Structure 1
Amino acid sequence: MDRIKYQPSRRRVLTTLAALACAGLPPFRAHAANAAASGAAGSRAPRRMTDLIGTNGWPSSAADIAMWKKMGISWGRGSVGPGQPDASTQPMSVDRTGNRFDSDLPSVVLRDNQNGIRSLLFLGYTPKWNASVPGDTKSAPEDVSAWEKYVDAVVKKYSAAPYGVRHFQIWNEAAGRLSGGLPQATFWHGPKFDKDEHRSGPYEQAMQDYVERIHIPAARIIRRYGAYVVYGGWPDQGGLDNLDKWLAFKSPHLNARMADWVDYLDTHYLSVSDLDGLYERYVRQGPARGLWQTEIGDRYMIDPHYLPRYFFEFAVWALARNWDDPDKYVSMIYHWDGYEPFRLTHRGPPERTYNVSGKSLIVLNQTAPGALAPLPQPLHFGPDVAGSGLLSDKDVVIQVSAPPGWRTVQTAGIAAPSGGAQVLFVDALTGTTASKDDATLNWNNDGMSIRFRVPDNVNGADRKPPRHLAYLVVRAGQGKSA
């Protein structure tokens, strides 16, 4: 059972995430903010930025956990095994995790639970002795009952006390032909597969074999234990039209439709705007409970703006799409740990440190730490400015991307608070607050207008054209505004 991995060639081009034009609301009415965050019934806990943020892997020490909390990471994802890697006569082993199954999973889950970290357990793959493609762990099992035995052992153990895991992911990136010409998916192989991709032929039964031999057998077991089914991470190269076909497939042998056996749809490496169609078709009125991405980032994080823009936009997007359950929308970073400079942290030695991407998450969670609510009135950005906004408790938080120079953003429908207000201009990567002379707040005709100066030395120097990513934070009671 190999680890979940990606070939660097798959992430050659950084995506440009579309900025949302969102809206403004009086930032100084705490009751309104809390009501919006709590829903019509006012009974559920407020949504927070940390609800959205997960990562692949696990924290392995108290120091790691402290770093996760500072970055706002509330989910981890990892493997379970090794199962029965060598023969069906072996005892079933589901107590290990990690790339080489070299870590103790029960202690990992218990430590996560004690520190408010949720666990997603990944189920896969096929042991070589049971592989339909000889020796290939990414092929369907010859004996489906052996796969079911493994799934049952995992879910039975970890869904029960003291672990209480509720979410289990089936396989990873099972698909057919991929964009770019690959005839078979990286993690789902069938007849005609060859390690030399140029010699592989198409896997004609890819969809049916996955649905009938992997997904529905596992999903039935997961639900039997009262847990939730997380789809196996549809790859960005698989195409969303193809995903629709897989979800619509109804097995003639099992008399079951794929989409009816998914609780949380899961894709990989898509932009937030790509999720709209999936939400409308599968989440807004069911059958799915929510929409996840269990892998984002990777080499996209070479762009230091990628993660803060992604998660801020994701929060704005979720607030506009009935974010009524804290588990409804989650995205997991690949990877929080490593030696590449774009990972969240550098492993060391001598000790683990934050990279720029990790620091940007700290700034995001320090800037918007409160109960989140949407801004129902539009923000109007001046020339060359893109951005979006939301409420964090009493604060209005607007993320802006712009080139150097004086820029503006305005919104109507907000009255100046009697106690005054202040606007802060905060660097999205470092958290540095600019001089108060670099951002001014004015009120006129029941509206708010912000003028701010983007520095010449922008924090997105490698972008073309260069742009700066920052937050404008409007906070009441911090002094008189004009």
Structure 2
Amino acid sequence: MSVGRPMDRTSNSAGRRRVLGTIAALLAAIPLARGKTSPAPTAVPQALDAGGRRITEMIGTNGWAGSSRDVEMWRQMGITWGRDSVGPGQPDSPTEVMRIDKTGSQFDSDLPSALIANNRNGIRSLLLLGYTPPWNATVPGDSNSAPVDVRAWTRYVEAVVRKYSAPPFNLRYFQIWNEAAGKLSGGLAQATFWHGPNFNEDGKRSKPYERAMQDYVERVHLPAARIIRKYNAYIVYGGWPDQGGVSNFCKWLEYRSPGSNERMLDWVDYLDTHYLGVADLDPLYQQYVKNGPAKGIWQTEIGDAYMKNPHYLPEYFFDFAVWALDRNWDNANKYVSMIYHWDGYEPFRLTHRGPPARTYNVSGRSLIVLRQTVSGSLASLSNQLKFGPGASGSALRSGNDIVLQVNAAAGWRTLTVAGLKRPSARTVKIDFIDALTGTVSAPDAITTTWSNDGLQLGFKVPDRVNGAGNDPPTHLAYIAVRPLA
């Protein structure tokens, strides 16, 4: 989705969203054991490295925090990254002054002050470089097409990266374009934000853009990437669309320019996709990140209408953390996902803009609960999880705690953490926490038994589940195992 101008994503992708949502619902209903089997019993750790990874390092959003109140709400939700546009460049003529001081969907907000505020408040910034001025477009008047004069594109990129990579901004992350792709495996002949000959506003009437890959790589990506590297900054790929297909993404990454004999992959530091599930990222990790050349995997857009399911965000980020911990999460910037969008009027956004005042929606409150519950330095939990009927989930270590995220139907459910020894602490506190509200259930809603087989848990899921609109209705909660001195 464009962060440079407004667009209704739902009208372009409702079908594929419904299909993916159905698949996710089916998978959620299957009991899972996403911890590794431990070869020997392990105990709850007494301490972990305070410098380890934190779940907040993964959490970003599109847009900037405007007021001090917005910044505080971002902190409460654990948001540490922002992403937005930079421009407007030279929108009307090649002779006008280059302007790169504005941001937002209509380029109506001041960018330098936003970036300085981000730095002051510990928020990292990603700038999106795009698009083509209508006067320079290969498809007449279409800013989503390749530039006729590549020098006009590079003047814009050079101006942005030179200015914002230097003090007082010191940005290191720049994204080239947004969702550039050719024929999509989801059915469209041309991508939403990359148009060529035979494009039609009615996607069903468009014909394939035969040079889509070559034109993007040679006229947009490589010229911009060389400038970014020149300023010792990092190149973030422009967000491969979910309906494009991962295998098709790999073909683009592997494309070798005949002119320079270089692959696009040689000029990408962080792979970036949009709206994929966590498991879909694994082929990219195995092929391009595990042993290089890419430094990490981002998703600069997730959420949107998926957040109509109130479980979506807390499940996504918890699963993302579990996944990353088993994939050499050795750098704070290696794995990042950014929510589209943090503010608005739809009830599924993180916050409601107001008036009279900005308030949290359910999705925003779920991030607050996640940040508060998974607040420590993270580590994998190697113990196997054995769920009874009607329940599934995953687990990780957070500081001295073990946190299990469970998705279950109403009624009493069971879970065994195989091989887990009772900690040496005199008291172990175990809470059953609503993942959307943070409400802790009464003590009699959970039972615990320690044995040679590990920790056996029984937990009562309320009749009024917090995912009543899901199919089937389920409840999302955390079970926090906390050793006390």
- TM-score tier by shorter-chain length is over 0.9
CA distance in 1, matches of 2:244, 2:470: 28
- Decide which of 259, 264, 270 is 2:276's aligned counterpart: 270
Are 1:27 and 1:396, in contact at CA under 8 Å, matched by a contact in 2? no
Which residue of structure 1 lines up, in the alignment, with residue 437 of structure 2? Answer: 430
SS in 2 for 1:316: helix
Which residue of structure 2 lines up, in the alignment, with residue 331 of structure 1? Answer: 337
Could you tell me how far 1:411 is from its partner in structure 2? 1.8
Deviations 1:229-268 (A, max 9, x none): 0000000111111111111110001221111111000000
Matched, 1:457 2:459: no
SS in 1 for 2:421: coil
- Decide which of 465, 474, 482 is 2:481's aligned counterpart: 474
SS in 1 for 2:156: helix
Equivalence map 1:44-123=2 (5 Å) = 45-123=51-129
Deviations 1:142-196 (A, max 9, x none): 0001101100100011111110111000000000112443211110001111223
Letter of the structure 1 residue corresponding to residue 309 of structure 2: D
SS in 2 for 1:250: coil
CA distance in 2, matches of 1:269, 1:260: 24
CA distance in 2, matches of 1:243, 1:217: 20
Letter of the structure 1 residue corresponding to residue 342 of structure 2: W
CA distance in 2, matches of 1:181, 1:440: 50
SS in 2 for 1:311: helix
CA gap of 1:181–1:417, structure 2 versus 1, over 3 A, is closer
Could you tell me how far 1:446 is from its partner in structure 2? 5.8
Are 1:27 and 1:394, in contact at CA under 8 Å, matched by a contact in 2? no
CA gap of 1:367–1:27, structure 2 versus 1, over 3 A, is farther
Comparing 21-30 and 45-54, the one that deviates more: 21-30
CA distance in 1, matches of 2:65, 2:257: 40
Which residue of structure 1 lines up, in the alignment, with residue 365 of structure 2? Answer: 359
Letter of the structure 2 residue corresponding to residue 424 of structure 1: D
Which residue of structure 1 lines up, in the alignment, with residue 218 of structure 2? Answer: 212
Which residue of structure 2 lines up, in the alignment, with residue 439 of structure 1? Answer: 446
CA distance in 1, matches of 2:271, 2:7: 20
Deviations 1:409-432 (A, max 9, x none): 112332223312121000000000
Could you tell me how far 1:7 is from its partner in structure 2? 2.3
Matched, 1:152 2:145: no
Give the length in aligned residue pairs: 468
SS in 2 for 1:377: coil
Letter of the structure 1 residue corresponding to residue 100 of structure 2: V
CA distance in 1, matches of 2:252, 2:245: 11
Letter of the structure 1 residue corresponding to residue 77 of structure 2: M
Could you tell me how far 1:364 is from its partner in structure 2? 0.4
Equivalence map 1:7-406=2 (5 Å) = 7-9=9-11, 10-11=13-14, 12-13=17-18, 14=21, 16=24, 18=27, 21-23=33-35, 26=42, 28-31=44-47, 33-34=48-49, 45-406=51-412
Q: TM-score, normalised by structure 2?
A: 0.94
Are 1:417 and 1:476, in contact at CA under 8 Å, matched by a contact in 2? yes
Could you tell me how far 1:75 is from its partner in structure 2? 0.2
Deviations 1:427-482 (A, max 9, x none): 0000000000001222111621111111111101011221100000001128xxxx
Are 1:422 and 1:441, in contact at CA under 8 Å, matched by a contact in 2? no
Letter of the structure 1 residue corresponding to residue 169 of structure 2: Y
CA gap of 1:4–1:120, structure 2 versus 1, over 3 A, is farther
SS in 2 for 1:448: strand
CA RMSD of aligned residues (A): 1.6
CA gap of 1:421–1:131, structure 2 versus 1, over 3 A, is same
Deviations 1:272-299 (A, max 9, x none): 0100101001100011000000000000
CA distance in 1, matches of 2:483, 2:187: 55
SS in 1 for 2:375: coil
Are 1:416 and 1:446, in contact at CA under 8 Å, matched by a contact in 2? no
Are 1:22 and 1:375, in contact at CA under 8 Å, matched by a contact in 2? no
Comparing 232-241 and 177-186, the one that deviates more: 177-186
CA gap of 1:353–1:241, structure 2 versus 1, over 3 A, is same
CA distance in 1, matches of 2:8, 2:239: 13
Which residue of structure 2 lines up, in the alignment, with residue 42 of structure 1? Answer: none
Which residue of structure 1 lines up, in the alignment, with residue 422 of structure 2? Answer: 416
SS in 2 for 1:430: coil
CA distance in 2, matches of 1:26, 1:468: 29
Letter of the structure 1 residue corresponding to residue 302 of structure 2: I
Deviations 1:23-71 (A, max 9, x none): 388564234x43xxx8xxxxxx310010000000011100000000000
CA distance in 2, matches of 1:341, 1:353: 11
Letter of the structure 2 residue corresponding to residue 30 of structure 1: Q
- Identity over aligned pairs, percent: 62
Are 2:186 and 2:245, in contact at CA under 8 Å, matched by a contact in 1? no
Letter of the structure 2 residue corresponding to residue 154 of structure 1: V
Letter of the structure 2 residue corresponding to residue 21 of structure 1: A
Could you tell me how far 1:378 is from its partner in structure 2? 1.1
